[in-house]
């Protein structure tokens, strides 16, 4: 079906106006008259069937609905601009766009990219993140990384590494409240994540303490929030390795029971089969697979 798009020039002027905060500032940035900006906004409002700006004294300001719409439009223009640079005739940029789960991106991929930059200083890696409760694949990317591989022939899939999980805590908390055996967790505050249900139950069963009930349990929506609470000494959590290896190396985290581990999820690299694949993209994929394999070996 054809795309049902509002007037593109009106969208462009609306995006600038919402960002600039006023018709006057938008007109100055676009080198247009105030009236020209106003007419394009009115054209877009008619196409959408609702107002986008409201009067505030002598000014017209974007409604909350319009601000949200502008953020979406701005992201779409960024994608168009990026595609134009990448696929234009004179394009010379070496850019790899990676979409990965937030915790994986922050705790493993970005620290690892220091090595890639040293090996390939002229290739730019742009990382965008996804939450576990979002659709499996969303947005524009050259490489996607997920815990569940796409059951779709449109993607080439390779395994990066398989995680193992164990108890994590801040070194300061363990100095103040030593945990010498798994049953000591009955006196601790256990931190859990809604996005990773069953982590504590699986680990306690592996440690022979399936019936243990903690003094208190706190639950957060995403794992990276739980991780920050662990680092801050709020309690103990379940962490995944090698994803958190850099935190362990930097002594942000400690492992009170390193020998008790539970097999965790695997991370997979997914490469669209129909995408343009320049040499620098293959170089990045090869580096990523090697880095994942090495990280898994070091975490064993």
Summarised one tens digit per residue, pLDDT across range 17-49 is 988 888 888 888 888 888 888 999 999 999 888
What's the CATH number where 22 sits?
Answer: 1.10.10.10
- CB under 8 Å to 167, separation ≥6 — which residues? 179, 185, 203, 236, 237, 238, 239, 255, 256, 257, 260
Domain count of the fold of the chain: 3
Structure tokens of 82? 């990026």
Structural domain including 255 reads 164-263
For residue 254, the 8-state DSSP code is B
Asked whether residue 19 falls in the same domain as residue 35, the answer is yes
Asked whether residue 173 falls in the same domain as residue 259, the answer is yes
Pairing of strands 262-272, 143-146: antiparallel
Residue 2 included in any domain: no
pLDDT value, residue 261: 96
- CB under 8 Å to 51, separation ≥6 — which residues? 45, 63
Q: What is the pLDDT of residues 222-239, one digit of tens each?
A: 999 999 999 999 999 999
Q: What is the pLDDT of residues 87-117, one digit of tens each?
A: 665 556 788 999 999 999 999 999 999 999 9
Asked whether residue 203 falls in the same domain as residue 54, the answer is no
Asked whether residue 26 falls in the same domain as residue 107, the answer is no
Contact in structure between 241 and 164 (CB atoms under 8 Å): yes
Q: How far is CA 232 from the centre of its chain?
A: 22
Q: Any idea which residue has 């960024």 for tokens?
A: 78
Question: To the nearest whole number, what is the mean pLDDT of the chain?
Answer: 88
| Partners of 95 in beta bridges | 124
Averaged pLDDT for residues 206-212: 95
* Confidence label for 135 from pLDDT (cuts 50, 70 and 90): very low
Q: What is the pLDDT of residues 67-90, one digit of tens each?
A: 888 888 888 887 777 777 666 655
């Amino acid at each position: 079906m054809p795309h049902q798009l509002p007037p593109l020039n009106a969208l462009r002027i609306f995006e600038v106006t919402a960002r600039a905060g006023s018709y006057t500032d938008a007109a100055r940035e676009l080198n247009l008259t105030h009236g020209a900006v106003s007419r394009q906004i009115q054209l877009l409002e008619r196409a959408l069937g609702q107002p986008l700006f409201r009067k505030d004294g002598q000014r017209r300001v974007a409604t909350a609905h319009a601000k949200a719409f502008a953020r979406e439009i701005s992201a779409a223009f960024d994608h168009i601009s990026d595609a134009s640079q990448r696929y234009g005739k004179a394009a010379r940029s070496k850019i790899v766009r990676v979409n990965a789960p937030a915790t994986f991106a922050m705790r493993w991929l970005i620290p690892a990219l220091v090595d890639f930059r040293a090996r390939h200083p002229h290739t730019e890696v742009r990382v965008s993140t996804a939450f576990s409760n979002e659709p499996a694949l969303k947005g524009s990317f050259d490489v996607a990384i997920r815990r569940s591989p796409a059951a779709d022939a449109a993607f080439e899939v390779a395994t990066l590494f398989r995680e193992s999980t164990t108890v994590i805590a801040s070194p300061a908390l363990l100095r103040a409240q030593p945990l010498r055996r798994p049953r000591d967790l009955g006196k601790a505050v256990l931190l859990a994540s809604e996005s990773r249900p069953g982590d504590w139950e699986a680990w306690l069963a592996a440690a022979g303490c399936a019936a243990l009930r903690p003094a208190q349990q706190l639950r957060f929506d995403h794992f990276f929030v739980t991780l920050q609470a662990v680092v801050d000494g709020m309690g103990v959590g379940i962490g995944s390795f090698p994803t958190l290896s850099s935190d362990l190396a930097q002594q942000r985290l400690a492992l009170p029971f390193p020998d008790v581990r539970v097999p965790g999820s695997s991370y997979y690299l997914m490469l669209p089969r129909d995408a343009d694949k320049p040499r620098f993209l293959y170089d990045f994929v090869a580096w990523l697979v090697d880095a994942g394999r090495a990280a898994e070996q070091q975490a064993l």
